[in-house]
Amino acid sequence: MQKMVWSMIASLILLAACQNSEPKKNEVKQTPEKLKQTVEQKTDSTFPYPNLLAENAQSYSLLVIGEEDDKTPIEKDQKIIKNVKNILSLPTKEMAQKVYPKLSVKSKSAYILFDNNGVVYQSKNLNELTRFLQENPAK
């Protein structure tokens, strides 16, 4: 009986020694720096229409409302597409107000420019929009 007790005590001591919770230095797994860094994209959750926002700070997004005066499609205008990556067109102000009721559309035809946080510029004239883009290129 005494042999059995001593063997149980020895087993418990051995078991406790094997379950040391501190890993040795060579057993610690090293994670690459790239995995440690997390990319945090901050989107402005107060803007009601995130689909209108630009994807990043290096570009703009554009909403065109109404008939275009110019015969050349805006999607082919190099001065515009240099900084604007996404262009959405709606035929009337009424349709724009139905789809985006919280968006303030000031005129029957409008060009509304967005960055990745919200409205940056609004104009009813394509030349004014082009001038704004030349003076304020995407970063």
- Tell me: the pLDDT tens digits for 80-124? 999 999 999 999 999 999 999 999 898 899 999 999 999 999 999
pLDDT band at residue 135 using 50, 70 and 90 as cut-offs: very high
**CATH value at residue 117:** 3.40.30.10
Hey, which residues does 64 pair with through a beta bridge?
Answer: 89, 111
Range of the domain at 96: 50-135
57 against 1, higher pLDDT: 57
Note whether 124 and 110 are within 8 A (CB): yes
Residue 24 lies in a domain: no
Say how many domains are in the chain: 1
Residue 81 lies in a domain: yes
